Amino acid sequence: MSKTFYTTLIFLLLAGRVSFSQVADTYYLLKADQFYDAEKNTFVKNQEILIKNNLVVEVGSQLSPPPNTVVLDFGNATISPGLIDTHSHILLEQKIDESLAVDAMMVSSETRVLRAAKFARSYLEAGFTTIRDLGNSGQYLDLEVRNAINSGYISGPRMLVSGPIIGSMDGQIFGLPMADFDRISKQEYSMVSGVEEAKKAVREHIARGVDVIKILAIGNRLVLGLEEMKAIVDMAHSERVTVTAHCDRDWAAHNAIEAGVDGIEHAYGFKTATLEKMADRGIYVVPTYGSTETIRRYYELQNEPYTEEELQENASHWKKWILELKAAGLSIVAGSDAYFDMEIPRGGIGQTSHLGICGFRTVS
């Protein structure tokens, strides 16, 4: 069992949860009936976990903790590594029947940050210890939430954030009058035209303190050009920052692949040749496909009748795509793309998305 692996994780207590203090040199010894070893995909009995402040320092049986260690015995609970959602949007909430623009237009930055604090806590309570937040978060509001968590002002998982998504001049918001489109799009995105603007946007993002750069391989209609994408990737990589690309159409992915992005988000129905090219380049994919439970919740919110057969049929394309990703040899990373108001805790939406990606219900 690798100690290095576990030092990156805070553990989810499936039968009870505990919040760890960040006071220096405080030790906790966790005991429970079972311990899930994620590296070996097996459950281990009679294991203990020694935590110093917020880091795991030792895992084993009959450990010898320092004096004054707080012992937390959870009886027949199971201790498991925390979940990770690599595609979240905790500064955004969209009603099922609303446009993407409504939240940005009608909700103040202050309210969005306060609401995000609630969403962040719900992720933690659902067992997520890390989330990667990928835009639709105003002008760097995601950094405010991340920094508040890191400072101990609010409770939440570790956050890796992108700041405003870098894209072409049309962004992702449509259907607005021109004056409103210009104002809201500039609030939510970094829209660039040309190589120099693309480089400047990356410099600004890194100077502000983002953890990852996210680009729009395609927005509503316009694509970033190959040279613009190359400039973004080269600039980010020179500062040891990775780049991931929103891309939901196969034909639009090829410039992103050629530009050398590290990851692609969504990848809906990509052709086999495209997937194999991504695998050859070492590009990971975050499918964001959801699960039958996602569809079930949608039906319930709309008060529409459904059968279990209909749920499976509606999710069949996700199952097909997941199997194609696996067959191509791609690195598949779980991400929910949760931003709709499903009238359940945001962390719960992340859990249902993981069902589909990891193989439960929709994938055999």
pLDDT value for 355 = 54
Structure-token match 């553990």, residue found: 11
Output DSSP code: residue 10. Answer: P
Say which DSSP state 66 is in: P
Query: DSSP letter at 112?
Result: H
CA distance 292 to 250: 24
**DSSP labels for 192-222?**
--SHHHHHHHHHHHHHHT-SEEEEESB-SS-
pLDDT at 18 (0 to 100): 46
Cβ atoms < 10 Å from Cβ of 244: 27
**Pairwise CA distance, residues 291 & 70, whole Å:** 40
**Hey, how many other C-beta atoms are within 10 angstroms of the C-beta on 225?**
16
For the chain, 364 residues long, give each residue's pLDDT as a single digit of tens. Answer: 444 334 334 444 433 444 444 445 889 999 999 988 888 889 999 889 999 987 889 988 889 899 889 999 999 888 888 899 999 999 999 998 888 889 999 999 999 999 999 999 999 999 999 999 999 999 999 999 999 999 999 999 999 999 999 999 888 888 788 888 888 999 999 999 999 999 999 999 999 999 999 999 999 888 999 999 999 999 999 999 999 999 999 999 999 999 999 999 999 999 999 999 999 999 999 999 988 888 888 889 889 999 999 989 988 999 999 999 999 999 999 999 999 998 889 998 887 766 555 543 333 2
Domains of the chain, with CATH numbers? 3-81 (2.30.40.10), 83-358 (3.20.20.140)
What is the reported pLDDT for 208? Answer: 98
Rounded Cα–Cα distance for residues 46 and 66 (Å): 19
Report how far apart, in Å, the C-alpha atoms of 285 and of each of 8, 58, 124, 186, 244 are.
22, 33, 24, 28, 9
Q: How long, in residues, is the chain?
A: 364
pTM, whole model, 2 decimals?
A: 0.85
Do 50 and 94 meet the contact criterion of CB atoms below 8 Å apart? Answer: no
Contact partners, residue 140, CB within 8 Å, separation at least 6 = 163, 164, 208
pLDDT computed for residue 363 by the predictor: 33
